[in-house]
Amino acid sequence: MNQIALPLDWPADEAESAFIVSSSNAAAVRHLHARGTWAVCATILTGPRKSGRSLLGRVITAQTGGTLIDNAQDHDEEQIFHAWNDAQRTRRPLVLIADAAPPEWSIVLPDLRSRLSATPHVAIGDPDEGLIERLITTLLERRGLIPQHGVVAYLTPRVERSHHSVIALVDALDAASLAAHRAITVPLARAVLSGIDAVAAAS
């Protein structure tokens, strides 16, 4: 599994060499690095929150001198319109990060709507099993936690396949280990997962 900018915020690491590339985000990475193939000098990047979409956008725009607009679906449409036009004039890419691409993201300005309809879109998917394993390991390491042998292998196929769930799991492992003053073992991991499942079932 390759790396290019960690899709986490514990704390944010802007180094491109840290991003974990897997099948769930490889298409987005290839697309952002192949700017010469874009139909226009702008792109829309979507994906689950906590997936690293903002960090990936920051890395790319820092490399190219481009412009990043995060949470674009909530941004002022006039500003996006002018940023889109400026990107075509300067040939410096505009990366729009949003929860969903138009037409799911409702656009009022007709001129902006037509421009975004011509703008390529790429999405980061939910994490695959390989990425989940690497994320659990990396998050624990960044907190100074070293799980006992077999813990990550036990957790990987059992945690819900979402970035939020992986982060919540590591938060819970950290809290449980601290409260019990014990290492992260498979029995502790099993108990933490059972507690998360019980909360989910009750909600």
pLDDT in tens, 151-198: 999 999 999 999 999 999 999 999 999 999 999 999 999 999 999 877
- Same domain as 108, residue 38: yes
If asked whether residues 99 and 158 sit together in one domain, one would say no
At 16, is the pLDDT very low, low, confident or very high (cuts 50, 70, 90)? low
Residue 10 has pLDDT above 60, yes or no: no
Average pLDDT over residues 69-84: 97
> Is 34 found in the same domain as 53?
yes
Residue 37 pLDDT class (50, 70, 90 cuts): very high
Boundary (domain end) residue, out of 123, 149, 171: 123
Please work out, in degrees rounded to the nearest 5, the angle formed at the alpha carbon of residue 176 by the alpha carbons of 193 and 142: 95
pLDDT given at position 7: 38
Range of the domain at 153: 129-202
Q: Which pTM was predicted?
A: 0.84
Please tell me whether residues 7 and 83 are part of one structural domain: yes
Within 13 Å of residue 28, how many CA atoms lie on the same side as its CB? 33
76 and 168 fall within a common domain? no
192 and 138, same domain (yes or no): yes
**Looking at residue 74, what is its pLDDT?**
95
How is residue 135 written in tokens? 């994320």
Domain ends where: 123, 153, 179? 123
Is it the case that residue 202 has pLDDT exceeding 90? no
**Into how many domains does the chain fold?**
2
Per-residue confidence band for 50, with pLDDT thresholds at 50, 70 and 90 = confident
Same domain? For 83 and 17 the reply is yes
pLDDT at residue number 203: 67
Residue 197 maps to which CATH number?
1.10.8.60
pLDDT of res. 66: 96
Average pLDDT estimate for 45-67? 90
Q: Which of 64, 111, 65, 61 is nearest to 85 (CA)?
A: 111
Q: Is 91 left (phi over 0), alpha (psi -120 to 50) or beta?
A: left
pLDDT in tens, 94-153: 999 999 999 898 899 999 999 999 999 999 999 999 999 999 999 999 889 999 999 999
Q: Is residue 80 exposed (0-12), middle (13-18) or buried (19+ Cβ within 10 Å)?
A: buried
pLDDT higher than threshold 60 for residue 17: no
Residue 9 has pLDDT above 50, yes or no: no
Confidence at residue 63, expressed as pLDDT on a 0 to 100 scale: 87
> Contact 68/61 with Cβ under 8 angstroms?
yes
